[in-house]
Structure 1
Amino acid sequence: MQMATITVQQATIEQLDEIVSLFNDYRIFYEKTSDLEGARAFIKAKFVNQESVIFLAYHAVENQAVGFAQLYPTFSSLSMTKAWILNDLYVASRCRQQGVGRKLLEAARRFAERTEANSLSLSTARDNQTAQRLYESFGFTQEDKFVQYNYDIKLI
């Protein structure tokens, strides 16, 4: 794919098909089984219940979605403000190293600022050095004030 202008816009439910395809690829990247039907139901519910904000990156020449970022709202009790978690960021493999991820980060940052959020946080796999370099070059810093734990709930 030739280098082209990348545009980013906040997605709507009308773009569900484009998001589902990218979201499924994102899950496969993180070694999950392909599940287009499950991805569709999950993303559709996020729109219907207004549980997240999704940005889509488009390759201008081909007018094709090539990446997405999904943000979830949260709150900071200590600062008593809104915050956003940039939970998912994915760029199609053929479009990496073309500034797509950076454009998605810029859109997420502008959105967080517009909504008067105190912070925008994210996490990535320890071995995803490419993503870590991007986030650090953008100005994200590794948090060392708190130790993060996770408790997996086993669904029956």
Structure 2
Amino acid sequence: MSNIRTANSFDLDALAVLLNDYRVFYQQDSDEAACRGFLHKRLERGDSCLLVHDAGHGPDGFVQLYAMLSTVSLASRWLLNDLFVAPQARGRGIGRALMQAATARAQEHGASSLMLRTQTHNHAAKALYESLGWQKNEAFDTYLLSVPGSGS
């Protein structure tokens, strides 16, 4: 899908709305200003790969990737941390196209693998991932520790 491109600073306002909606989906408080600030830092620092779908009217979907290193595989691995398509744009293959673009971008950068996690009840997303050949990792458990006072 040729409507996928790398995000830029002109996308900030539209992306802030999308990121806010994504976070609300994950039961976070709505805060578009904080989303805009977070995205601004990502674009300014270049510490994520942020791809958007834009059919000419501004972004209506995005995928965000973070590069990591794997000591076990002695290679680069990318975390597909975020995938979101605006509700009014769903059902047109945008999520699939963003996932495929993320895979292509990781491959271009020599990543050995992509990884992601999603909520156990997000059946639509899991069906998409599995249809694209992603496999559930049964070998490792995921643990999370919140660190007080940390920021973006």
Counterpart of 1:141 in structure 2: which amino acid? Q
TM-score in terms of structure 2 length: 0.92
Q: Which residue of 2 is the match for residue 25 of structure 1?
A: 21
Q: Which residue of 2 is the match for residue 48 of structure 1?
A: 44
Counterpart of 1:49 in structure 2: which amino acid? R
Show the 5 A alignment for 1:79-98.
79-98=73-92
Counterparts of 1:14 and 1:72, CA distance in 2: 21
Q: Which residue of 2 is the match for residue 139 of structure 1?
A: 133
Deviations 1:36-82 (A, max 9, x none): 1111111111111111110001235xx23210000011011111111
Counterparts of 1:50 and 1:58, CA distance in 2: 20
Q: Which residue of 2 is the match for residue 102 of structure 1?
A: 96
1:34 alignment partner, one of 30, 36, 42 = 30
Q: Which residue of 1 is the match for residue 109 of structure 2?
A: 115
Return closer, same or farther for 1:21/1:153 CA change in 2, 3 Å cut-off: same
Stretches of structure 2 that go unaligned for 5 or more consecutive residues are none
Is the CA contact 1:6–1:58 (under 8 Å) kept in the aligned structure 2? Answer: no
Counterparts of 2:121 and 2:141, CA distance in 1: 19
Counterpart of 1:117 in structure 2: which amino acid? A
Deviations 1:79-114 (A, max 9, x none): 111111010000111121210100000110000000
Counterparts of 1:28 and 1:124, CA distance in 2: 15
Aligned residues: 150
How high is the sequence identity, in percent, across the aligned residues? Answer: 34
Stretches of structure 1 that go unaligned for 5 or more consecutive residues are none
Counterpart of 1:8 in structure 2: which amino acid? I
Counterparts of 2:27 and 2:144, CA distance in 1: 19
Counterparts of 2:87 and 2:2, CA distance in 1: 15
Q: CA RMSD in A?
A: 1.5
Show the 5 A alignment for 1:55-94.
55-60=51-56, 63-94=57-88
Counterparts of 1:14 and 1:82, CA distance in 2: 30
Counterparts of 1:25 and 1:59, CA distance in 2: 19
Is the CA contact 1:102–1:134 (under 8 Å) kept in the aligned structure 2? Answer: yes
